[in-house]
Structure 1
């Protein structure tokens, strides 16, 4: 199953079928593709994957081949069109599975089984197959057949409850952050199963619940409740200062200061040793009770400095602080620029585009951007005729019958 184009990459001997229809599944398989796996994106005939209809689009004009979201999520993949719910489509799908290590899908529980292409059916054809199913709530339980959006999962997982200002309603993360986290977890789980299959020649079924993925990745607020019985309030812990985002001369910076040593270092950066020598702020508990007064002094100092100055002074004093950057600022950030994180891709019909690069660096088998996101059904002949051996005449007939 080696991918000859990417034979020097870490995952070049792995083939993946991407049957997903959301960001989490597409990002999961994008990670495989970026490190050399041969990822085949199966799309519905005619209109293709749903993300092709989601922007941004050049000049705000929607087009199947110019969706920024689709291009970002599907670089380094190949595309075929196939109606797997039709008899002829299911037959071709089963043939393709014999050449596959991993399938990633996001259908509701029981959907693929109703067409005879669930895990039990596919594992009979390929016992080494790993089948990863990403759903909002998992394959079992009272919520199994419920649908949920990105924000719905964020709320249901408990992650939304502590997020936001103290005197406001809970707030969501930015769009799709949750989906990327779920996709990352799915990629790790899938990779573990595929590697085990390579050794043991036995595949597995991965039941990936988005709700449980987020809850399992929750910060120590869960532990706080388990040990104390108390729910931590939004944004600020019951003890400590400074915590959260604060204004400065040209924007905002964020702090996460709790223990005495970090608070003392922050006061030193402010050239205010007198603050931590005052009993009002000599313990985390006292700082929590008098946080509003301290915040006022901190903001007064911050408003005399821009983000870079605050960041550099805090780093020099080993204080946990970071500027809050916008995306246009990140494109020029010296840390990201020095590591070559942002890459330029050439997309057919659109020219050069900027995209994110490797989320982690492998020294000997590096990430590589080898092919742009595919056009709809671009690789139909390559895969159906060259790999599966059907004739051009058969391919044309399947297209006429809307199977591909």
Structure 2
């Protein structure tokens, strides 16, 4: 019988915005029970992010919250109260994993940091996600961080944009947050695997800055090998590389070696460009784009994207159409791969969204539960703790009720 690989794993998620929620949503997609701990007064700030869709009943759901919180449960705890702290401690005692991405030091001040929660147990896997890490005394320790700040600090923004004479540009929204969330999940799985052998949990100190510096491999490799700083604009060693216009839009390709260039040259009807010293090597082509680019662009503009891709692929050149979100949503290949789940939301109806890209041979399908309403699981989750109803009501910031 097929099952999800993380069934039976309980995750307590003291999280907000993107990095923590993205990490735990992937764990939830793999079958983990993820309990999202939120403030009673509004919950995760992304619950009100735009865009929003409104149902016939007048209730609205935020797309920015929907993208990172499917398949979870929500409980509300007032961590400013003794009862809320007590309930949180009891809840963590039932968990295998804690994921939190609050500002460094915040949970320690409340008495619910890693050292506090593991004083009486050593098997807890605790992932703390932050901008610059939790090591005290370092130059950037304790700095607040959002995605854009980390992308700039890590050098990703420096190499993003059209050319060196234009300002840097931010890459895709949420890149640092989501990449760090994935890396946190990877380390959580390593730690759970190791716990099976040793019985020991651990603290996982996940830094967005570390993550994006590791991802910024190529500029750092160039600096290590040449002492030079590469910036926005064309590569010095590989060409063509980028997006190129066809009759109905753009295609994207890179020619990483001269064998591949020989194939491109033959495909566009200019085989002599493969042997001409001005165009035979990547460095030569990069130094003088006018030596090859007019011929290539003229060939492309006579063809649709589909035609150009078909001819280049037939010649052995990997290439792709530059798709927008509507192209991707309608992609038959992704549909056949099962990359989209159809989430049935109680207020706004069906929403078709991409899920974590798992393709395991004997796994059950990725679940398609909608995002939890704030505090919807208080009764189920918190009601099982050793607190009386009055203390639970104070812990949650309101009377213990089942959300609609």
Structure 1 stretch 393-402 or stretch 112-121: which is displaced more? 393-402
Aligned-residue offset at 1:400: 5.8
Question: Which residue does 2:332 correspond to in 1?
Answer: 334
Task: Find 1:380's aligned residue among 375, 378, 381.
Answer: 378
Pair 1:186 & 2:204 matched: no
Task: Find 1:229's aligned residue among 218, 227, 239.
Answer: 227
Which 5+ residue runs of structure 1 have no aligned equivalent? 1-5
Equivalent residue pairs, number: 397
Q: Distance in 2 between matches of 1:214 and 1:70?
A: 23
Pair 1:31 & 2:1 matched: no
The 5 A counterparts of 1:323-402 are 323-385=321-383, 387-392=384-389, 394-396=391-393, 398-399=395-396
Structure 1 stretch 279-288 or stretch 151-160: which is displaced more? 279-288
Distance verdict in 2 for CA 1:60–1:233, change over 3 Å: farther
Structure 1 stretch 393-402 or stretch 190-199: which is displaced more? 393-402
List per-residue Cα deviations over 1:191-230 (Å, max 9, x = no partner): 1112222321211111111011111122322112101111
Aligned-residue offset at 1:112: 0.7
Aligned-residue offset at 1:253: 1.2
Which 5+ residue runs of structure 2 have no aligned equivalent? none
Q: Secondary structure at the match of 2:11?
A: strand
Q: Distance in 2 between matches of 1:85 and 1:297?
A: 67
Aligned-residue offset at 1:115: 1.1
The 5 A counterparts of 1:245-284 are 245-284=243-282
Using the size of structure 2 for normalisation, the TM-score is: 0.92
Question: Which residue does 2:285 correspond to in 1?
Answer: 287
Pair 1:77 & 2:75 matched: no
Q: Secondary structure at the match of 2:75?
A: strand
Question: Which residue does 1:42 correspond to in 2?
Answer: 37
List per-residue Cα deviations over 1:92-132 (Å, max 9, x = no partner): 11111111111111112211111111101101233211111
* Structure with more contact order per residue of length (Cα contacts < 8 Å, sep ≥ 6): 2
Which runs of 4 or more aligned residues in structure 1 lie more than 3 Å from their structure 2 counterparts after TM superposition?
389-404
Task: Find 1:106's aligned residue among 101, 104, 107.
Answer: 101
Q: Distance in 2 between matches of 1:365 and 1:186?
A: 22
The 5 A counterparts of 1:296-315 are 296-315=294-313
Q: Distance in 2 between matches of 1:212 and 1:57?
A: 33
Pair 1:10 & 2:5 matched: yes
Pair 1:173 & 2:161 matched: no
Distance verdict in 2 for CA 1:60–1:49, change over 3 Å: same
Distance verdict in 2 for CA 1:193–1:403, change over 3 Å: farther
Distance verdict in 2 for CA 1:76–1:60, change over 3 Å: closer
Q: Distance in 1 between matches of 2:174 and 2:356?
A: 18
Q: Secondary structure at the match of 2:133?
A: coil
Q: Distance in 1 between matches of 2:147 and 2:116?
A: 31
Using the size of structure 1 for normalisation, the TM-score is: 0.92
Aligned-residue offset at 1:367: 4.1
Q: Distance in 2 between matches of 1:360 and 1:7?
A: 14
Q: Distance in 2 between matches of 1:13 and 1:397?
A: 29
Aligned-residue offset at 1:78: 0.7
Structure 1 stretch 158-167 or stretch 109-118: which is displaced more? 158-167
Distance verdict in 2 for CA 1:59–1:13, change over 3 Å: closer
Aligned-residue offset at 1:161: 1.3
Q: Distance in 1 between matches of 2:292 and 2:217?
A: 26
Aligned-residue offset at 1:159: 1.3
Question: Which residue does 2:83 correspond to in 1?
Answer: 88
Q: Distance in 1 between matches of 2:101 and 2:53?
A: 28
Q: Distance in 2 between matches of 1:322 and 1:170?
A: 25
Pair 1:157 & 2:154 matched: yes
Aligned-residue offset at 1:258: 2.9
Q: Distance in 2 between matches of 1:64 and 1:16?
A: 28
Distance verdict in 2 for CA 1:234–1:370, change over 3 Å: closer
